[in-house]
Structure 1
Amino acid sequence: MNARWTTGNRFELLENGEAFFPAVFDAIRHAKHEVVLETFIVFEDKVGWELHAALVEAGRRGVSVDVLVDGFGSSELTPAFIGPLAGAGVRLRAFDPKPRFLGMRTNVFRRMHRKIVVVDQAVAFVGGLNYSADHLADFGPQAKQDYAVKVEGPIVAEIHTFARAAIANADPRRHWFRREHDPQRQTGSEAAALFVTRDNQDHRTDIERHYRVAIRAARKEVTIANAYFFPGYRLLKEMRRAARRGVRVRLILQGEPDMPIVKTAAAMLYDHLQRAGVQIYEYCARPLHGKVALTDDEWSTVGSSNLDPLSLSLNLEANLFIRDRAFNRHLRERLEALIENGCQQISADRLPARNVFHLVRSFFVFHFLRRYPAWAGWLPAHVPKVVTPQVDDHPGAASLEGMTRVTETPEAR
């Protein structure tokens, strides 16, 4: 587990697409040297096309632009979207795309779920937002509630090194540019950051372990807002222990889920957690897509990792862990507003009565939670590929999955 905290950073919380998209697009439009972007989803809607325009314009003015999308999450990208990117010199790659079988996508597991942007090695963005219109309030009742962080300072160099390693190996001709200034001099702040990733090779449990360490060290408060909540036994145990020693432990979970099974799975844990004193709130204003947490007065995290089997045991994820009182305070204010204005607390009288069915279900859930990190290894475990799609001029090339000429490279770790 990487334990090297980097000081001298500056952080800005970006809430929802209204704050995130303008900040990212403005950074890309002002890029002078390089843009590196990784994301799970790009849709061809108004947000995806605005990203497209910013990337094309950057490529045309000579900025080095590399984009990595997930082959499952962004499988519907068409030649009309991909072609102009290639024409502007943007290097687009897809993580492990697969053709459909009987109309169904087969590349469900071990997805590239990270959301990272680095511009000129000077500013980075890490969080949970995809490039899709459902992160904007005008999308309607199903608009997602989500968070990202904009960061400047020395930690950006570490994020950049990681992102380059995940993308650059797909093109052996890739060149590097020299910085014109020292990123260590970006800010005099003592705010510390730790960039932590999860993969299926050397860093399988790093993000979860940092959560557990922070909860174990908490003395006053733990607040977690997470969209897809079904963590492993060890993380649940730390939450229960913290609550029993007098720490106020609050969970903000989905009350209006984008997928009904999400709420059903999380609700199976409510009784187990509440009996130890954990407070549970369901956010009911719209679907919650955030993955943020804080403890006490200093520690917090923003990233792509949910607290569920996919994120904790299968997907490639990235979180920024932060030690900064000002950022912690601002995040707490925003989560307090979320609780006050959009949540309902789950009280004990709303839980189902304990009966034989409840006890049997709890038994199986308990043992699943104890074992699922090991069981995850039984799922399809081929070596994923990063591929470079090239647009064919025939009607069959209708999406990223339909691209026929690719360059295959081993998964970057």
Structure 2
Amino acid sequence: MKPGWKPIDHIELLENGEAFFPAVFKAVQEAEREVLIETFILFMDKVGWELHAVLVEAAKRGVQVTLTVDGYGSPDLSKEFIDTLSAAGVRVQVFDPQPKLMGMRLNVFRRLHRKLVVVDGQTAFIGGINYSADHLADFGPQAKQDYSVLVRGPIVEDMHRFALATAAPSRRWRSPWSREPRSPGKNRPDASMTSWASFVSRDNRHHPTDIEHQYRMAIRAARHELILAHAYFFPGYRLLRDLRNAAKRGVKVTLILQGEPDMPIAKLAARILYDYLLRAGVQIYEYCERPLHGKVALADQEWATVGSSNLDPLSLSLNLEANLFIWDRRFNQYLRERLQHLMQHHCQHVQEPEKSHRLMWRLGLSVLVFHVMRRFPRWAAWLPKHQPQLAAVTHVDEAQLDPEQRRA
């Protein structure tokens, strides 16, 4: 499957679980032939059980349903949860399931981090939202701020083909990991196009930099404005240099990052970069209402992206990710309005790094963390490798249950 720009008939930004979950559940309830779902996290909370119910109902009426979860992100699905899905005819698959060693999960790296839904090959969802109650405001102060999109049109053909490649047992590793090499393609469609999208994934063999390449092309092509909202921000030097160069040539570059992180090290890592970016004129806002979990960006008046990929070493170098790159003026404008609302009402504008960052001990810690995270993907590649598996399951051994919260 080669990436390319295809028309969009309909695209809709879904902000947080309040918009995302009802839209997905409704699409599953209306499915006639097929439902394909990939997710990093599926919890057995009120959201997980509601998804469970609509999948069981769809399978019982004859819809072919495949649910693929990540073995690290979703290790605590009970026998009851799995067995009732399987009994109804749902195919449940786990990406890279690994036994624990002395109570520890070792499959930390190379995770299936995508969040993708395709229904009847006609309606698709993609973004950063998992199936868990912490994506709903009533979860409390730790509820996540996140985004997904609903899309219809010819672009769904590419998303459907990709999801089928993961779901089909006979091709389960040939397709996701061994597709023919492809060029990342152009970062924008032809000038005559008005509403188009490109589905781009990354893996660890043939397409390790496709998503990053699309980001860098958009940043280098920007002439007026760039807004990037990311939960985990620690990209490589080349992307950082592109952001600085854009700001220096007069582009209004704005970053929205975590102010109330679910993982404190993520905030520390991002702040290490503040001086480097602020001196070039990059504007930085920290979202302080609750943990930011989004992975979205826009450039000028047409380009935008929504997906599962953070701009950090895990997403850019190890995880399996997928983003939708969008060329649509109305969608770009609406996403800008929502991000500007976030900045105006729920963010703190960072004028300069905190004074404590200037202390010698803090500087030393920052340098250490920077170099560790920058080299982290290379070090992870030295770890013992195994051929990832996609295992069909009927239940999970209750001895493996682990309620520990996982980072998404």
What is the aligned partner in structure 2 of residue 135 from structure 1? 135
Task: Say if 1:259 and 1:100 are closer, same or farther in 2 by CA, change over 3 A.
Answer: same
CA displacement at 1:361 relative to structure 2: 5.3
What is the aligned partner in structure 2 of residue 334 from structure 1? 338
> What pairs up with 1:110-189 in 2 under 5 angstroms?
110-169=110-169
Is the contact made by 2:194 and 2:329 (CA closer than 8 Å) also made in structure 1?
Answer: no
Task: Say if 1:81 and 1:166 are closer, same or farther in 2 by CA, change over 3 A.
Answer: same
CA displacement at 1:364 relative to structure 2: 5.0
Matched AA of 1:213: M
Task: Say if 1:379 and 1:45 are closer, same or farther in 2 by CA, change over 3 A.
Answer: same
What is the aligned partner in structure 2 of residue 54 from structure 1? 54
Is the contact made by 2:78 and 2:401 (CA closer than 8 Å) also made in structure 1?
Answer: no
Q: TM-score, normalised by structure 1?
A: 0.88
User: Counterpart of 2:10 in 1: which secondary structure?
Assistant: strand
Instruction: Measure the CA separation in 2 of the matches of 1:163 and 1:156.
Output: 10
Task: Say if 1:138 and 1:363 are closer, same or farther in 2 by CA, change over 3 A.
Answer: closer
| Cα deviation code 1:244-270 (max 9, x no counterpart) | 111111110111111111111111111
What is the aligned partner in structure 1 of residue 183 from structure 2? none
What is the aligned partner in structure 1 of residue 176 from structure 2? none
Is the contact made by 2:121 and 2:160 (CA closer than 8 Å) also made in structure 1?
Answer: yes
Task: Say if 1:349 and 1:132 are closer, same or farther in 2 by CA, change over 3 A.
Answer: closer
Matched AA of 1:277: G
Instruction: Measure the CA separation in 2 of the matches of 1:232 and 1:356.
Output: 24
Task: Say if 1:369 and 1:87 are closer, same or farther in 2 by CA, change over 3 A.
Answer: closer
What is the aligned partner in structure 1 of residue 254 from structure 2? 250
> What pairs up with 1:320-399 in 2 under 5 angstroms?
320-348=324-352, 350-352=354-356, 354=358, 356-357=360-361, 360=364, 371-391=375-395, 397-398=397-398
Is the contact made by 1:232 and 1:372 (CA closer than 8 Å) also made in structure 2?
Answer: no
Task: Say if 1:93 and 1:263 are closer, same or farther in 2 by CA, change over 3 A.
Answer: same
Q: Between the two proteins, what is the percent identity of the paired residues?
A: 62
What is the aligned partner in structure 2 of residue 26 from structure 1? 26
Matched AA of 2:115: K
CA displacement at 1:4 relative to structure 2: 1.5
What is the aligned partner in structure 2 of residue 269 from structure 1? 273
Task: Say if 1:369 and 1:106 are closer, same or farther in 2 by CA, change over 3 A.
Answer: closer
Is the contact made by 1:208 and 1:312 (CA closer than 8 Å) also made in structure 2?
Answer: yes
Q: TM-score, normalised by structure 2?
A: 0.89
Instruction: Measure the CA separation in 2 of the matches of 1:128 and 1:399.
Output: 30
User: Counterpart of 2:145 in 1: which secondary structure?
Assistant: coil
CA displacement at 1:350 relative to structure 2: 3.0
What is the aligned partner in structure 1 of residue 94 from structure 2? 94
CA displacement at 1:65 relative to structure 2: 0.4
Task: Say if 1:255 and 1:363 are closer, same or farther in 2 by CA, change over 3 A.
Answer: closer
Is the contact made by 1:231 and 1:369 (CA closer than 8 Å) also made in structure 2?
Answer: no
CA displacement at 1:381 relative to structure 2: 2.9
CA displacement at 1:2 relative to structure 2: 5.0
Matched AA of 1:23: A
Structure 2 gaps, min length 5:
173-192, 403-408
What is the aligned partner in structure 2 of residue 304 from structure 1? 308
Task: Say if 1:376 and 1:205 are closer, same or farther in 2 by CA, change over 3 A.
Answer: farther
Aligned length: 382
CA displacement at 1:398 relative to structure 2: 1.2
User: Counterpart of 2:73 in 1: which secondary structure?
Assistant: coil
| Cα deviation code 1:12-44 (max 9, x no counterpart) | 000000000000000000000000000001100
What is the aligned partner in structure 2 of residue 103 from structure 1? 103
What is the aligned partner in structure 1 of residue 178 from structure 2? none
Task: Say if 1:385 and 1:269 are closer, same or farther in 2 by CA, change over 3 A.
Answer: same
CA displacement at 1:382 relative to structure 2: 1.7
Task: Say if 1:365 and 1:278 are closer, same or farther in 2 by CA, change over 3 A.
Answer: farther
Is the contact made by 1:196 and 1:320 (CA closer than 8 Å) also made in structure 2?
Answer: yes
| Cα deviation code 1:319-348 (max 9, x no counterpart) | 000000000000000000000111001111
Instruction: Measure the CA separation in 2 of the matches of 1:399 and 1:35.
Output: 30
| Cα deviation code 1:393-412 (max 9, x no counterpart) | xxxx317779xxxxxxxxxx
CA displacement at 1:377 relative to structure 2: 2.2
Instruction: Measure the CA separation in 2 of the matches of 1:269 and 1:116.
Output: 31
User: Counterpart of 1:229 in 2: which secondary structure?
Assistant: coil
What is the aligned partner in structure 1 of residue 405 from structure 2? none
Is the contact made by 1:226 and 1:306 (CA closer than 8 Å) also made in structure 2?
Answer: yes
What is the aligned partner in structure 2 of residue 66 from structure 1? 66
Choose which of 251, 256, 263 in structure 2 pairs with 1:259.
Answer: 263
What is the aligned partner in structure 2 of residue 207 from structure 1? 211
| Cα deviation code 1:278-311 (max 9, x no counterpart) | 1111100000000000000000000000111111
Structure 1 gaps, min length 5:
173-188, 403-413
User: Counterpart of 2:341 in 1: which secondary structure?
Assistant: helix
Matched AA of 2:56: V
Is the contact made by 1:41 and 1:70 (CA closer than 8 Å) also made in structure 2?
Answer: yes
What is the aligned partner in structure 1 of residue 202 from structure 2? 198
Is the contact made by 2:314 and 2:377 (CA closer than 8 Å) also made in structure 1?
Answer: no
Is the contact made by 2:222 and 2:246 (CA closer than 8 Å) also made in structure 1?
Answer: yes
Task: Say if 1:351 and 1:241 are closer, same or farther in 2 by CA, change over 3 A.
Answer: farther
Is the contact made by 1:250 and 1:280 (CA closer than 8 Å) also made in structure 2?
Answer: yes
Instruction: Measure the CA separation in 2 of the matches of 1:107 and 1:366.
Output: 24
Matched AA of 1:214: A
Give RMSD over aligned pairs.
2.1
| Cα deviation code 1:198-235 (max 9, x no counterpart) | 10110101101100000000011110000011111111
CA displacement at 1:102 relative to structure 2: 1.9
Matched AA of 2:145: Q
Is the contact made by 1:281 and 1:343 (CA closer than 8 Å) also made in structure 2?
Answer: yes
User: Counterpart of 1:197 in 2: which secondary structure?
Assistant: strand
Matched AA of 1:160: H
Task: Say if 1:231 and 1:19 are closer, same or farther in 2 by CA, change over 3 A.
Answer: same
What is the aligned partner in structure 1 of residue 177 from structure 2? none
CA displacement at 1:166 relative to structure 2: 1.1
User: Counterpart of 2:51 in 1: which secondary structure?
Assistant: helix
Is the contact made by 2:271 and 2:353 (CA closer than 8 Å) also made in structure 1?
Answer: no
Confirm whether residue 75 of structure 1 aligns to residue 79 of structure 2. Answer: no
Instruction: Measure the CA separation in 2 of the matches of 1:217 and 1:2.
Output: 22
Task: Say if 1:339 and 1:257 are closer, same or farther in 2 by CA, change over 3 A.
Answer: same
Task: Say if 1:391 and 1:350 are closer, same or farther in 2 by CA, change over 3 A.
Answer: closer
